[in-house]
Amino acid sequence: MGRPARYDEARILDAALAVTAEDGPGAATIAAIADRLGAPSGSLYHRFRSRDLLLASLWTRTVRRFQEGYIEALARDDAEAAALHTPRWCREHPDQAAVLLLYRRQDLVARWPTELAGDLGTLNVRAAKALDAFTARRPGVDRERAVFATVDVPYGAVRRHLLAGRPPPPLVDELVVTTCRAVLTS
């Protein structure tokens, strides 16, 4: 049995996350990520054949991590918790929030790697199914209103704070809940 990898995939992705969150996607070169990790560039290329594959893997990991709380809240039939997931997650995970909510996928990855084509195609399926199930259990709730209240409003509410390099203040939670209630009960 061989020895464990010194620079495993998770550690490399964590280093890429830190570089990208601090300095933007343009700064997330293989050399900069390797430097952050304290590893030779070859160690990164051993796990990821290209920068695009590394950053695409980071992006998909971040999306999946973010979606977990949103999906769980919808499964509990709690639209307000689903809406609040975004500002709360941004406060708890500022680096991931910066990568996910400030940059589009195209900002990170010039050409989507073929190895992750399946991931890209199915990335939002669980969240969409959770939203569909939520609205099916609540006949009075229109799906488009649910998307607006639990996705669009929270995203818009946190983005300007993230752009300014700060977490969304607690007032954002109050405004998100007020808007969610108004949109879903009208």
Instruction: For the chain, give every domain's residue range.
Output: 9-185
Percent of the chain past pLDDT 90, that is, above it, reads 84
Q: What is the pTM of this model?
A: 0.91
Reference 97, options 159, 51, 50; nearest CA is 159
* Stretch 77-106: mean pLDDT: 94
Interatomic CA distance for residues 165 and 56, integer angstroms = 23
Average pLDDT of the chain to the nearest whole number: 94
Tokens of 92: 């708890």
Asked if the 9-185 domain carries CATH number 1.10.357.10, the reply is yes
CB-CB contact of 33 with 54 (8 Å): yes
CB 150 within 8 A of CB 77: no
Distance of CA 93 to the CA centre of its chain: 10
Question: Residue 186 and residue 175: Cα distance in Å, rounded?
Answer: 16
